[in-house]
Structures are given as structure tokens and as C-alpha cells.
């Protein structure tokens, strides 16, 4: 049994044909969903790369692992999925992106040399890098001195300081004039590299290379694509596979940006330079077709990968997981990028295909159970039959949902996602101190409640307003719902999130156990004999 | 400048003559208070040894450092006061107890050899042990194979497997018959060792030894007595220095144990074997006089220590701090031991004497400002002029309160203390799952609010009911107070407690800063020039 864990970057939940996108075709991903389970209500633990990924890689909430924003390191004391897998004899192999930022301060005071095996393992987030590729964000001295994909591009004749930027993520006119991929106006033009040399096929081939050489012994391969993340540049023919007519109308309403009614933090995000850059229809028309092309390219590559695996008889003993680290507003809700908690940002695709016969009952199911991405690590450990850990994971294995059509008893009632906007423009605009620039989303089967410290909450009725256009956070008629959701938030917040050792099973074993040699609260010899028949204190 | 940080174990806030005890005399501690500031409303972060100490040693709440009960280890990733002091050239020296339990699971997966310098430093909680002595609780393989005090006793002719138990903590009748110190009935008899060989003088002499050999260079010496912690055994003449008439009436009311009105968790604690063992008046009469004797012995030893320091000119350049890790119910509130949040358990003595002239304004002051023990680490760092840390401490320096009679602006409005009763009898009695067996105390200038997951709160009006005999937790007249205190609890719970790197100052520096080489949200060349005048993306 092996696990292939595919992750896209910035792929929205609704940009797959199996998730209902009317014009985008993703036949290979759809086929995977048909063979497995598609979780339709999966939320990331933060709608931003590093925190979301660190939650997926540790099985713990952002407040628990400490990496609350990009560049805020994962605590040196946080074990990862890779650490756990290695303990049970499974190779945790990385092909692609992790966005891991090591805790240099923590390593320094602990006396861990960043170049030592322990330091390197931490810097690799517990993975064994077959190839690590964080795109344009190689993380300082511990990352490879040069992006491997840049090295590859150079070997194939694409020169310059940063061929990633100059070729793969740049576009070219018919007349041969080149444009930076940062200029969205030109994003619909083809990339300056052909399909085979672009990033997604490169990474897919690396996964195949790994599989060819993996040998016996179980592995988990985390194939972590950088796309469809911006720059929204894709090679031909994907760049014009979709056009203006394939774009869905922007999900937004004037009320959402009405200064008198819009939530102040949401409004401040809309007003940031970046979000303002995504609102014009011209921008949407320039970037959404290549965004769709990038997804289609991923799908085609997965088709190749699955065929490769099929040919080698690997489909029967490989659990395949398809996921994404967060969504992309693409101008919806007057926003660009991610950061806030609307479904287009915090809700993500999740498909799991367990090839074993015990999963036959659920093939093709679309499940509405609330899933959090912290569930992935425990699911993988469960898939490999891992023993209970000495560390506390906060997610729960999805195996019961993969093997049984019914919802397990006592499944979670609330999903949580967090966002730390302390380094964002909105904090300055709103004059919020760094430590209070926190938002938390709590959603249940029907309601989504968003708490922002120091402000009124936001509230959406996902049943009657699935597009989340009508914020009920100040509506007097919904006070009871808000109170209930606030209580859920506070109950979750009050838990111990830091403790990683001493899991519940160990507590149970140690409950009401007397400390050997300690006989406190004893009056005399009779009392001693009564309570501690075997005690022989001296004298 | 040096710091002498004295800590007692299990010393209540009200068992000092300067704190108003009518029959106990503590002239040397009183004199220290007269030269410094006595903080009259100091709370520990947990009314139990290890969690309380770990908070004092890290400057962080229990939920932040992860050690929520005795034996639940301090996370390997938590830096301590000692680590911080060493960085600024100050020796953090330990003489006595820490109750530190190393994170063996964390070290193992990080690949840290427990015997390596990093492993040893962690196991010593960041201190440089001049002598470590956790009493009867030496912590496994990393602790010294034998208690140093036991070695000392043996050298002085007290034999047996555990002379700590057989001699120092055992008592002797006039007729020579010996009794275990565990049998409280005999605790009023003298110890089987004379004063000079008992634990407090031994530890005091060790502190003097350290000071004699310390040489130049700043140090913090943590002189950490095990007494007046049980067994309540003290040598002559302290054993009968106080008698039945010196005991204060038990602070308790029948209402507190009335099954219909008492708080369920509080009541379950009362019903535990240990607490039942402390309720009889005979027990109180047997243990409180030696408890007082143990405190008097500490005071006498401090007299000797201060004279020793005076004779060597050390009083002028040594900040002296007197503290305790939690209190002792001694039968009050129908309880023994500590564990719950009444003042006799969670409120502790704190005296700080800063010899520098800038502290002259506050000498002899008794301050009612709310102080938490997590304030000690930042205070010490401040005393040594330490630079801002790359790690987040949650306490705040008390220096402003030591140098100025006014309360600083924006001082804390609430003090917090936590208790994890997951391993206690009460959890079983109440059928609470391990992860919910949590209580949190929030108090302000007047009210003390205690939240227990799944139960109604407790509430005390400290102004009109300073003895905390009237629980208003279910009183309809106090709903508004309870709501306010609950909100304070939840606001505190919602904070990020895990993150230790990226303090606010670093966040400020990184707010709204663009990532170099990333030009997201840009439409065209004009837009690029406008927003990023110096950008030169390729091509």
C-alpha cells in the first residue's frame, strides 16, 4: 500500500467539472472522484499557503503548530506527518512545494545545526525531498541554492537570472514580443515555454521518476504542484482553450462593498492594492481563462500519471488523494487572491480514492460531512495501519467515511479555519495591534460564522445564500445563531492546543494513579494499611 | 547586578507575618518586604507544582508551554528564562527544585540525545544546576542517580535506602520510637535529624557555597526550597514552636459541601481520598504547627543567608525575590493540598527588593496590582537590561511597579490561572473525557470567576466575601458579572498561545511589506511603474 497525495496551489473548490463547473473539463480528476469519494465540504485551516500546508502536514490547527502566516515558522517542536510515517517504516517523499519556513531561532537556542540531519529534516518539514520546489519562494539558506526547475529550464536552453520568471512565467505575442507574467493584461498569451517544459508537466515527470526508482517498501508521495497559482501563465494550447464565454459571472453584490454595511475587515481587504487589482472585468477576462487552462493542464498531466501507474500495476495498491491548499477569489466578492473565508477561498477540493475492496461501498460518493485538512495526516497514518502516536494530532482519520456510507457517530459539528492578518494592509488601515489581527471561521452544516477580534462577526446562511452575498452578522433576527456559533468558537479556543505529548489514552492510563512512594493525606498506621495495603515506608 | 530568586514550595499567601498572619513570625521575610515591594495580589498560572513552575520559568501560560500537569513535559521547543539569560551573558544557576520533566518523545523524534548538551539543558529547564533537588521526585534517567540531599544525609551517618524518608522526613517520639513522616498524626514530633541536617538549611548552605564560588559576572541564583511542602516534618525546635492555639480557624462553611449547592468539580475534589484526609480538626492540629515551623525555619535560614550576603557586600547589587509555586488548603474549604483556585491555593507571596536607587520610591509598598507569575521571567530579563527577545514572553516586566508608585497605564485587568484535572479522581467521579477536564480562573480587582468545561462557573466577590465562602456562580443577580468574566476568559483563550517566534515588533516591521520579486495584482506596464517604480521583472 502506497499513497499518492496530489496537492494543487490556489485551486478553488468549484473549478472542477465534477464539482459543477459548467465549462471547465477535468475528466481525469472526475474519473478519480468516480472511483473514490469526493468530499464536498472540505475546509483548509487557513486560507493562505504556509499555515494551510503546515496544518495539513502536522494534522494540527494553525494556533497549535504556530505558523500563522507565510514566513512565520513551524515550531521546531512540531512533529510532522513525515516524522510519524518514517517511524512506521513509510517513506514520506516530496515532489514539489511545501512552503515550509524553518524555525531558525528555535533551532539556534536548542543548539541544532541547520545543516545537521535534524535541522535538514525540520527544514524539509519532515519530508524526504525527491525534489523540492517552492517556486519563486525558495526559503533561504536551507533551500537548494537554485530552484531545480530553473536548473532544468537552463539545461533546456532557457537562460537568464531567473528562467522561471523570464520564460516559464512570461508570455509571448504572435509578433514575438515578450511580456512579464506579472502583467495580467497579457496572461492570456501563451507561455514562453512549450507544454513539456512548463512547471506542471516537469513536476509530474519527477513524480514518475520517483515511482520508477522507489523500489519496494511503502511510501507516501506528496506531488505538490505550484499551479494554478499566479502568475496565471500557461503554455499553448491551454492558454486559449477557454475564452471570455467560459467565464462565470463574478460572485458579488454591491452591498458587499457598501461602506455602511460591509464588514470593516472584509472591506479593508477589498481596499488593498492587490484586491483592487482583481476587480475589473478586464482583469477577470485576462486571467480566468489561463487559470482554467492551468487546471486543465493539471488534469491532463494527472491523466498521464494515472496511465503510467496503471501500466505498472500501481493503481491497485496506491491510495490517491487530490487536494489544494486554498482557493482564489478571482474578483469574486470584490477580492483577489485568498485571505478571507468565503467558500471560494477557504473551501477546497478533496477527492480520496482508496483502491482496497473495503472502500467499494463508497465509490463515486459525494459526501457533505464537514472535513478539515488536518484530517489528512491521521487518514494517511490510518491507511498505513500506524499505531497510536505519542503525539497529539487534532484531525481525525477519514477512513470511516471512506469505508462506510453512513456518517460515523459523533462526527464533527463544526469546521474551523484561522487567519492572521497582522502583516496585512488591512491591519494598518483599521489600526489594529498585531496581536489582535486575528479572524476565525466556524461553520456547521448550514451556517458560516466569522469572528474578527474587536469587530462584529460576519454570518452567512449557506443554505439560503450559498454564494455568501448577504452578511447576516449584524441582523437582529440571527442573534441566536450567532450566539451559538460564537460559543462553538470559544469552546474550541479554550482547548489546549499546544500540548503535543500525553494524548488522551495516556491520560486515561494515568488517571487516579498514586505516585509510587507518596502517601499523602494519611493519618496513621491503620489509615495507611487501608489505603495502601502494600506500602512500607521507612521507618 | 545579580538576582537571588527564592522560591518556597506550597507556601500560602497568608502564612507570613507581613501578610497578616497573627501568630506566625517571619521577621526576615518581613524585613525584605520593608526594603522592597510586596505584591499582595500575585497569582500562579496553575495551582500545582510543575505547571506553575514551568510558567514562571518560561514566562508563558500553561496552555502555551504545554506542561499542564505534573509529569506532562515542557515542550522541547519552549525556551526558558535560563536560555534567555545565558544569551545576555548571565548565569542561570539552580539550587534546589524545578519539577522539570523533559519532553523525551519530542527529543527522540528531533534526534536530540538526552545526554547531549542540548538534551541536558532541556532536562535542567535551562538552568545551570549547582545543585538540583526535586525531593522525592527525581525525574528519571536524566536526573542525578541519587538525590544529592540523600548523599549528604548518608555522609552524615543517616543510612537506609532513602534517608530523606527514613530520617529527614520521619519523626521521633521522646521514647525513641520512629514514625513515618507520611503519618500526619505524628507530624508534630521532631524530625529524626537536627536542624542543621534538615533540607532547608542544607539548601541554604548550598546557595552560600555557590555565591562564594560564583566569581565575577552576573548571575541569577534560583534558590528553590522544597519546604514547607509535605511531609509536614520539621526538626526541633521548630516542631513545637507553634501549638494548637496558634492555628487559625478553618476557612470553610457547610454550604461549600452541600451537594445541592456546591460546584460539582469542587465537590468532587473535596470527596477525593486526599482531601477527605485533611478535613478533620485533629489533622489540622497535627500538621499546621509543623507547617508553620517549616516556614519559620525558612525565615531563619533566610536571615542567615542575608547576613552572609551583607557581610560580603552583596546586598547592594543583588535583587532579592521571595516567592512560592502555589499554596496549601490545609483543610480550608474542605480541601487538602492545592488544585483548586481559592486564594489559599492559587494566590501566593511575592516580594521583590531591588537594591538600586531607582526603586527607592516604592520601598515598603504593598501593591494590589494584579500580578501573574509569568511576569517574573520578563522582570529578571529587564533587571539585567536584556534586549527584546526573538521569542514571545506572555508576562510583563514588573519593573515599572518597582520604580514608580503609580500603576502603569494599561496594566492588566485580569489574572489567569489554569488547571488540568484530567488525571484526577474528580474526572472519573464526574465522567468527564480527558480533553475536557480543564478549569480556568479569571480574576480582576474584585471578582474571581472559575470556568470548568461542561459545568456552571464559580464566582466569588473578593470585596464582600474575601474568604470565598459564598459561590455566586448560580446566583441570578450576578449574571452580568459572570458574562463579563466569561468574555474575558474567551478573549484570552482566543489568542495565539503557541507561537513563540515572530513577536509584535517583528510583525510591525513586516507589515504591508511587498515580497521582493513578487508583483501580484498588476495590470500592465503603467500599473507596474505606479506601484513598483523600481521593479524590473524579466523579460
CB within 8 Å of B131: residues ≥ 6 apart: B94, B95, B96, B148, B203, B206
H helices present in B374-431, as ranges: 376-383, 399-403, 425-430
**A412 touches B: beta carbon within 8 Å:** no
Which residue, among B420, B309, B387, has the nearest Cα to A511 in the 3D structure?
Answer: B420
Test the B interface: residue of A75, A273, A502 with most B CBs within 10 Å: A502
**Structural contact between residues B483 and B496, judged by C-beta atoms closer than 8 angstroms:** no
In angstroms, the CA B398 to CA B383 distance is: 10
What is the grid cell recorded at A2? 502506497
**Structural contact between residues A5 and A53, judged by C-beta atoms closer than 8 angstroms:** no
Residue B355 pLDDT: 98
In a structure prediction context, what are the per-residue pLDDT tens digits for chain A, which is 539 residues long? 999 999 999 999 999 999 999 999 999 999 999 999 999 999 999 999 999 999 999 999 999 999 999 989 999 889 999 999 999 999 999 999 999 989 998 898 888 899 999 999 999 999 999 999 887 654 333 345 578 899 999 999 999 888 999 999 999 999 999 999 999 999 999 999 999 999 999 999 999 999 999 998 899 999 999 999 999 999 999 999 999 999 999 999 999 999 889 999 999 999 999 999 999 999 999 999 999 999 999 999 999 999 999 999 999 999 999 999 999 999 999 999 999 999 999 999 999 999 999 999 999 999 999 999 999 999 999 999 987 777 889 999 999 999 999 989 889 999 999 999 999 999 999 999 999 999 999 999 999 999 999 999 999 999 999 999 999 999 999 999 999 999 999 999 999 988 888 888 888 888 888 777 889 999 999 999 999 999 888 89
In angstroms, the CA B523 to CA B508 distance is: 29
**Structural contact between residues A32 and A322, judged by C-beta atoms closer than 8 angstroms:** yes
**A325 touches B: beta carbon within 8 Å:** no
Test the B interface: residue of A124, A277, A505, A521 with most B CBs within 10 Å: A521
Cβ–Cβ of B77/A106 closer than 8 Å?
yes
Cβ–Cβ of B166/A511 closer than 8 Å?
no
**Structural contact between residues B429 and B266, judged by C-beta atoms closer than 8 angstroms:** no
In angstroms, the CA B491 to CA B413 distance is: 12
Residues of A in contact with B491 (CB under 8 A): 453
In B311-379, DSSP assigns E strands to 318-324, 347-348, 350-353, 365-367, 371-372
Please report the residues numbered 506 through 525 in chain A whose beta carbons come closer than 8 angstroms to any beta carbon of chain B. Answer: 507-508, 510-513, 515, 517-525
* Nearest-neighbour CA in chain A from B538: distance (Å): 5
In angstroms, the CA B145 to CA B470 distance is: 48
Pairing state between β A2-8 and A219-224: parallel
Residue A475 pLDDT: 97
**A387 touches B: beta carbon within 8 Å:** no
Q: Residue A173: which region, alpha, beta or left (left: phi > 0; alpha: psi -120 to 50)?
A: beta
> What letter would DSSP give residue B205?
H
> Which helix or strand (DSSP H or E) is residue A150 part of?
helix A148-155
In angstroms, the CA B253 to CA B332 distance is: 9
* Nearest-neighbour CA in chain A from B160: distance (Å): 9
A180 forms bridges with which residues in the sheet?
A: A170
Chain CA centroid to CA A280, Å: 28
In angstroms, the CA B437 to CA B48 distance is: 15
In angstroms, the CA A513 to CA B490 distance is: 32
DSSP letters of A248-305?
PPP---GGGG-TTTS-HHHHHHHTSHHHHTT-SHHHHHHHHHHHHHHHHHHHHHHHHH
For chain B, first and last CA: distance in Å? 61
Which chain A residue shows the shortest CA-CA distance from B536?
Answer: A180
**Structural contact between residues A170 and A181, judged by C-beta atoms closer than 8 angstroms:** yes
In angstroms, the CA A482 to CA B124 distance is: 47
Among A122, A423, A498, beta carbon nearest to B507: A423
In angstroms, the CA A109 to CA A154 distance is: 39
SS (H, E, C) A314-332: CCCCEEEEEEECCCCCCCH
In angstroms, the CA A74 to CA A51 distance is: 9
Cβ–Cβ of B538/A499 closer than 8 Å?
no
In angstroms, the CA A265 to CA A301 distance is: 39
**B71 touches A: beta carbon within 8 Å:** yes
Test the B interface: residue of A501, A518, A524 with most B CBs within 10 Å: A501
In angstroms, the CA A210 to CA A306 distance is: 14
Which residue, among A490, A242, A106, has the nearest Cα to B499 in the 3D structure?
Answer: A106
CB within 8 Å of A354: residues ≥ 6 apart: A36, A319, A383, A399, A402, A403
**B388 touches A: beta carbon within 8 Å:** no
Q: Residue holding cell 512565467?
A: A169
Which chain B residue shows the shortest CA-CA distance from A103?
Answer: B501
Cβ–Cβ of A501/B103 closer than 8 Å?
yes
What is the grid cell recorded at B96? 534546589
* Nearest-neighbour CA in chain A from B23: distance (Å): 25
Which chain B residue shows the shortest CA-CA distance from A511?
Answer: B423
Residues of A in contact with B119 (CB under 8 A): none
**B160 touches A: beta carbon within 8 Å:** yes
Chain CA centroid to CA A503, Å: 25
Pairing state between β B42-43 and B347-348: antiparallel
In a structure prediction context, what are the per-residue pLDDT tens digits for chain B, which is 539 residues long? 999 999 999 999 999 999 999 999 999 999 999 999 999 999 999 999 999 999 999 999 999 999 999 989 999 889 999 999 999 999 999 999 999 989 998 898 888 899 999 999 999 999 999 999 887 654 333 345 578 899 999 999 999 888 999 999 999 999 999 999 999 999 999 999 999 999 999 999 999 999 999 998 899 999 999 999 999 999 999 999 999 999 999 999 999 999 889 999 999 999 999 999 999 999 999 999 999 999 999 999 999 999 999 999 999 999 999 999 999 999 999 999 999 999 999 999 999 999 999 999 999 999 999 999 999 999 999 999 987 777 889 999 999 999 999 989 889 999 999 999 999 999 999 999 999 999 999 999 999 999 999 999 999 999 999 999 999 999 999 999 999 999 999 999 999 988 888 888 888 888 888 777 889 899 999 999 999 999 888 88
Among A73, A117, A531, beta carbon nearest to B501: A73
Test the A interface: residue of B150, B168, B182 with most A CBs within 10 Å: B182
Test the B interface: residue of A61, A416, A507 with most B CBs within 10 Å: A507
Q: How many helices (H) and strands (E) does chain A have?
A: 19, 17
Among A66, A425, A501, beta carbon nearest to B500: A66
Residues of B in contact with A515 (CB under 8 A): 137
**Structural contact between residues B183 and A524, judged by C-beta atoms closer than 8 angstroms:** yes
Residue B518 pLDDT: 87
> What letter would DSSP give residue A456?
-
Residues of B in contact with A192 (CB under 8 A): 539
| ipTM (interface pTM) | 0.93
A452 forms bridges with which residues in the sheet?
A: A439
| Sign for the pseudo-dihedral over CA of A73, A43, A38, A344 | negative
Please report the residues numbered 26 through 45 in chain B whose beta carbons come closer than 8 angstroms to any beta carbon of chain A. Answer: none
The tally of CA atoms less than 13 A away on the side-chain side of residue B369 is 26
Cβ–Cβ of B490/A495 closer than 8 Å?
no
Would you mind telling me the total number of residues written for chain B in this entry? Answer: 539
Which three-class secondary structure state does DSSP give residue B495?
A: coil
Find the angle CA(A133)-CA(A136)-CA(A137) to the nearest 5 degrees.
80
* Nearest-neighbour CA in chain A from B512: distance (Å): 5
Which chain B residue shows the shortest CA-CA distance from A66?
Answer: B499
Test the A interface: residue of B72, B167, B494 with most A CBs within 10 Å: B494
Which three-class secondary structure state does DSSP give residue B456?
A: coil
* Nearest-neighbour CA in chain A from B406: distance (Å): 25
Test the A interface: residue of B504, B511, B536 with most A CBs within 10 Å: B511
Among B78, B165, B424, beta carbon nearest to A538: B165
**Structural contact between residues A166 and A158, judged by C-beta atoms closer than 8 angstroms:** yes
Cβ–Cβ of B524/A283 closer than 8 Å?
no
What is the grid cell recorded at A303? 491523466
**Structural contact between residues A11 and A25, judged by C-beta atoms closer than 8 angstroms:** no
In angstroms, the CA A61 to CA A44 distance is: 10
Cβ–Cβ of B423/A71 closer than 8 Å?
no
* Nearest-neighbour CA in chain B from A89: distance (Å): 14
Among A390, A504, A537, beta carbon nearest to B105: A390
> Which helix or strand (DSSP H or E) is residue A442 part of?
strand A438-443
Among B162, B497, B501, beta carbon nearest to A106: B501
What is the grid cell recorded at B100? 522539570
Which chain B residue shows the shortest CA-CA distance from A60?
Answer: B498
Residues of B in contact with A162 (CB under 8 A): 517, 538
In angstroms, the CA B418 to CA B45 distance is: 6
Which residue, among B422, B201, B215, B377, has the nearest Cα to B294 in the 3D structure?
Answer: B201
Residue A200 pLDDT: 98
**A504 touches B: beta carbon within 8 Å:** yes
Residues of A in contact with B192 (CB under 8 A): 539
CB within 8 Å of B398: residues ≥ 6 apart: B39, B352, B371, B375, B376, B378, B379
**Structural contact between residues B454 and B434, judged by C-beta atoms closer than 8 angstroms:** no
In angstroms, the CA B28 to CA B33 distance is: 9
Other beta carbons within 10 Å of B432: 22
Residues of A in contact with B79 (CB under 8 A): 106, 109
Q: Cis peptide before B164, with omega less than 30 degrees from 0?
A: no
Cβ–Cβ of B499/A165 closer than 8 Å?
no
Q: How many helices (H) and strands (E) does chain B have?
A: 19, 17
Residue B136 pLDDT: 64
Amino acid at each position: 500500500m502506497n499513497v499518492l497525495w496530489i496537492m494543487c496551489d490556489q485551486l478553488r473548490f468549484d473549478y472542477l467539472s465534477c464539482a459543477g463547473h459548467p465549462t471547465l473539463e477535468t475528466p481525469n480528476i472526475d474519473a478519480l472522484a468516480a472511483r473514490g469519494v469526493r468530499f464536498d465540504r472540505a475546509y483548509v485551516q487557513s486560507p493562505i499557503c504556509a499555515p494551510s500546508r503546515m496544518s495539513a502536514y502536522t494534522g494540527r490547527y494553525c494556533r497549535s503548530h504556530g505558523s500563522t502566516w507565510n514566513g512565520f515558522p513551524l515550531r521546531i517542536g512540531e512533529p510532522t506527518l513525515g516524522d510519524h510515517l518514517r517511524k512506521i517504516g513509510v517513506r514520506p517523499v516530496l515532489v514539489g512545494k511545501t512552503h515550509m519556513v524553518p524555525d531558525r531561532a528555535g533551532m539556534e537556542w536548542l543548539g541544532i545545526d541547520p545543516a545537521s540531519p535534524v535541522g535538514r529534516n525540520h527544514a524539509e518539514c519532515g519530508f524526504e525531498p525527491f525534489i523540492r520546489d517552492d517556486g519563486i519562494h525558495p526559503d533561504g539558506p536551507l533551500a537548494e541554492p537554485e530552484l531545480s526547475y530553473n536548473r532544468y529550464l537552463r539545461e533546456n536552453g532557457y537562460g537568464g537570472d531567473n528562467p522561471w520568471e523570464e520564460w516559464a512565467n512570461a508570455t509571448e505575442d504572435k509578433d514575438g514580443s515578450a511580456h512579464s507574467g506579472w502583467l495580467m493584461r497579457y496572461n492570456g498569451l501563451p507561455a514562453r515555454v512549450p507544454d513539456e517544459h512548463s512547471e506542471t508537466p516537469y513536476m509530474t515527470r519527477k513524480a514518475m521518476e520517483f515511482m520508477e526508482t522507489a523500489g519496494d517498501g511503502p511510501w507516501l508521495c506528496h506531488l505538490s504542484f505550484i499551479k494554478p497559482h499566479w502568475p496565471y501563465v500557461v503554455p499553448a494550447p491551454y492558454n486559449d482553450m477557454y475564452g471570455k464565454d467560459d467565464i462565470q459571472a463574478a460572485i458579488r453584490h454591491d452591498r458587499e462593498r457598501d461602506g455602511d454595511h460591509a464588514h470593516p475587515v472584509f472591506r479593508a481587504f477589498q481596499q488593498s492594492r492587490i484586491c483592487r487589482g482583481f476587480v475589473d472585468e478586464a482583469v477577470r477576462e485576462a486571467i480566468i481563462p489561463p487559470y482554467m487552462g492551468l487546471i486543465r493542464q493539471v488534469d491532463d498531466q494527472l491523466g498521464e500519471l494515472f496511465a503510467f501507474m496503471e501500466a505498472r500495476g500501481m493503481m491497485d495498491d496506491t491510495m490517491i488523494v487530490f487536494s489544494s491548499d486554498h482557493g482564489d477569489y478571482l474578483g469574486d466578492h470584490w477580492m483577489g487572491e485568498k485571505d478571507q473565508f468565503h467558500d471560494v477561498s477557504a473551501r477546497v477540493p478533496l477527492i480520496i480514492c482508496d483502491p482496497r475492496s473495503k472502500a467499494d461501498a463508497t465509490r463515486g460518493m459525494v459526501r457533505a460531512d464537514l472535513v478539515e485538512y488536518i484530517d489528512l495526516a491521521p487518514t494517511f497514518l490510518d491507511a498505513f495501519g500506524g499505531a497510536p502516536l505519542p503525539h497529539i494530532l487534532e484531525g481525525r482519520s477519514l477512513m470511516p467515511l471512506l469505508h462506510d456510507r453512513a456518517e460515523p457517530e459523533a462526527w464533527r459539528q463544526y469546521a474551523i479555519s484561522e487567519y492572521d492578518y497582522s502583516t496585512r494592509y488591512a491591519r494598518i488601515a483599521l489600526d489594529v495591534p498585531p496581536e489582535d489581527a486575528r479572524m476565525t471561521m466556524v461553520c456547521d452544516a448550514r451556517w458560516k460564522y466569522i469572528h474578527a477580534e474587536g469587530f462584529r462577526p460576519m454570518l452567512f446562511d449557506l443554505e439560503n445564500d450559498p454564494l455568501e452575498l448577504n452578511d447576516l452578522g449584524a441582523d437582529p433576527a440571527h442573534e441566536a445563531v450567532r450566539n451559538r456559533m460564537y460559543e462553538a468558537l470559544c469552546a474550541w479556543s479554550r482547548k489546549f492546543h499546544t500540548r503535543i505529548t500525553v494524548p488522551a489514552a495516556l491520560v486515561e492510563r494515568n488517571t487516579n494513579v498514586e505516585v509510587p512512594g507518596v502517601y499523602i493525606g494519611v493519618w496513621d498506621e491503620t489509615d495507611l494499611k487501608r489505603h495502601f495495603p502494600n506500602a512500607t515506608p521507612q521507618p
